[in-house]
Structure 1
Amino acid sequence: MTITSPVHAADMAPARPLSRVPAAALHTIPEDLELSADSASAAPARRARIFAHRGASGLFPEHTRAAYMRAIEEGADGLEIDVHLTRDGEVVCFHDPTLDRTSNGSGAVAETTLEQMRQLDVSSWKTPVLPSRYGTREQQLMTLQDVLELLISAGRDIALAVELKHPSPFGHALEDRVLKVLLTYGWDPETSRIACGEHSVEITFMSFAPGSLLHLADMAPAEKLCALFTDITEEDVDVQLAHVRFSAALRPVVAAVMRGTVRDSEALVWNQRVGMAGPGIDYVRDHKAEVKAWIARGTTMRVWTVDRVADAELLLELGVQEITTNYPARILQHVS
């Protein structure tokens, strides 16, 4: 597959930083804040692998250096990250396509340069004061390269689940740029690992967009590709139509497209075009027969977002192999 350069939206206006830091939400630190003394020690046998959803995002702002470092400290088996391309083609860890919810900036990530994003405050919206060991406020915005540096220096085998966020104005240039970055770090497409001394970083790729996974299939092994999906609710459709004119008229079309995408993702799993299925916990509750069938066929299940011990126990009973959570220490304790 040819690695292409992303289209530069040079004619787009840059993001507009606000003159204030958003008022911090009332943020009560749960008991999980106390780090177990043996969290960083050798992991005991586990009934499922635990991925930290956007880092330890139940405790610290999602996709920040603090959230990632905390998840590694707690002993998470891997990190889950969402990636977008900036206007100048850099891969940044950010969930939303816009800056507004989790920073003091405004506008689209795709219309913002990496230098502009580095100047934003991406942590005060949740945690105004971070423990100093997790870096300064200016160090919290993370690129894919930044995350790889953290994982390579973790001193143990660890995994990275990269979610490609679509629709992207850059199309599949997002996937191509991610692969190019990985290759510069010595990523081996055959094993999908980056060697670092006696340890390695395992890379898997995820997306709600079937086309993204099919594009990656030219380079990445099927067993490292994860189709994400969940049942589409009326609320999901409302979110898609929130800023669309004539939304009432478009509603049936949008709902049909969204449900069609879910069916396409399920088909990737049934047809074994991908080796991993990534349903939400609500989907699992409603489709236990399908989950059991996929596991029996050798499919790896990676279920999100699981913060309740009761939900984790349900997944273990079903034989789910991987769990994604905002509170890795909490769920690790239960599955170990």
Structure 2
Amino acid sequence: MKHHARLPLAAVFALGIAPLAAQADALEQQLDDLQGFQIIAHRGASGYAPEHTWFAYDKARDMGADYLELDLHMSADNQLVAIHDDTLERTTNGEGNVKDHTLEALKALDAGSWFNQAHPEYANDDYAGAKLLTLDEVIDRYGDSVRYYIETKSPDRYPELQRALVETLEAEGLVDAGAVVIQSFSQDSLKQIHELNADIPLVQLVWYSTAEDGDGLVEWTGVTPAPSEITDADFQAIADYAVGIGPNVTYEGQDVIDAGFVDQAHANGLLVHAYTINEPDAMQRLLDWGVDGMFTNFPDRLNSIAE
């Protein structure tokens, strides 16, 4: 894995480099780094520890992940909380929608015990009682020592989320530090973020599945046609606001994209970050296709193959 050294801010100021130039350099460095292969820790090292907890994030860092992936929802009191599902049942001992609970109520939940039951081969008594985390807590712990790959949900669900997120990232200096990518299945969400801060690299997620009538493939939100019908113009429309596209690779065991999809995306100036790839043979196949990054629950596996 090639990682580019980044000057600490103290060194930047010691060298007399203007802060604006330093910001531009950090952003430019991030875009340069994105041209290399990126290991994106899906909800942290979520194959080994309960997703979106300190256990999963710390493991991901230790395993050489380039980015920590965070899914964000909002609490009833408008706090940004790292959790994948809209609801609490799968990954906590709570019930109902995340957005219907205050942060205090969410913090009282056990977000770790479920993992020990679901994955006994990786169970650890320490995971019991793990807490849900806010975006602020994650940033306070890691600062810009890691990069964050943040997923936003649909704006109709959380109309305040986009602005709250961008304001937080700006206030913490993470955009200027070149430390964040934002992804979404919602084109509307990404376009809102692009209007709020055009410096943030964006990735358009897509989900290809079999059409209801069984005839061919469709993309979940209609952001592109089926891969077999996709045109350069479809990729260029995404490239107007995003640096990359994030596709699923298979659906019900069948490939939905191929090496040609990757090549066509590249020809239209887009990176390709595939999700969610956990088996070594699949990782190697996608490396052979030339993808620019992968989401994985097992960052150590991908790190050993991508080196």
Scaled by the length of structure 1, the TM-score of the pair is 0.69
Cα pair 2:185 2:221 within 8 Å, conserved: no
In structure 1, list runs of 5 or more residues that go unmatched. 1-41, 195-200, 238-250
Asked whether 1:65 is paired with 2:54, we answer: yes
Match of 1:165 in 2: 153
Asked whether 1:275 is paired with 2:237, we answer: no
In structure 2, list runs of 5 or more residues that go unmatched. 6-34, 118-122
Corresponding pairs, count: 258
Displacement after TM superposition at 1:221 (Å) = 3.4
Letter of the structure 2 residue corresponding to residue 88 of structure 1: D
Higher relative contact order (CA 8 A, sep 6+): 1
Residue 160 to residue 302, structure 1, CA distance change in 2 (3 Å) = same
Letter of the structure 1 residue corresponding to residue 84 of structure 2: H
Of the candidates 165, 177, 182, which is equivalent to residue 178 of structure 1? 165
Match of 1:147 in 2: 138
Cα pair 1:47 1:316 within 8 Å, conserved: no
SS in 2 for 1:121: coil
Superposition RMSD in Å: 3.0
Instruction: For 1:76 and 1:170, locate their aligned partners in 2 and report how far apart those are by CA, in whole Å.
Output: 29
Instruction: For 2:164 and 2:236, locate their aligned partners in 1 and report how far apart those are by CA, in whole Å.
Output: 29
1:191-270 matches, within 5 Å, as 192-194=175-177, 202-221=179-198, 224-233=201-210, 258=220, 260-263=222-225, 269-270=235-236
Asked whether 1:53 is paired with 2:53, we answer: no
Moved more, 306-315 or 320-329: 306-315
What is the CA deviation profile of residues 235-265 of structure 1, one whole-angstrom value per residue up to 9, with x for unaligned ones? xx7xxxxxxxxxxxxx99xx98945245499
Cα pair 1:269 1:276 within 8 Å, conserved: no
What is the CA deviation profile of residues 246-303 of structure 1, one whole-angstrom value per residue up to 9, with x for unaligned ones? xxxxx99xx9894524549977643222111100122775343222111133311111
Cα pair 2:207 2:219 within 8 Å, conserved: no
Residue 153 to residue 130, structure 1, CA distance change in 2 (3 Å) = farther
Of the candidates 275, 295, 303, which is equivalent to residue 304 of structure 1? 275
Asked whether 1:98 is paired with 2:52, we answer: no
What is the CA deviation profile of residues 57-109 of structure 1, one whole-angstrom value per residue up to 9, with x for unaligned ones? 00111111111111011111111110011110000011110101111000100
Cα pair 1:160 1:203 within 8 Å, conserved: yes
Asked whether 1:120 is paired with 2:109, we answer: yes
SS in 1 for 2:116: coil
Moved more, 291-300 or 204-213: 291-300
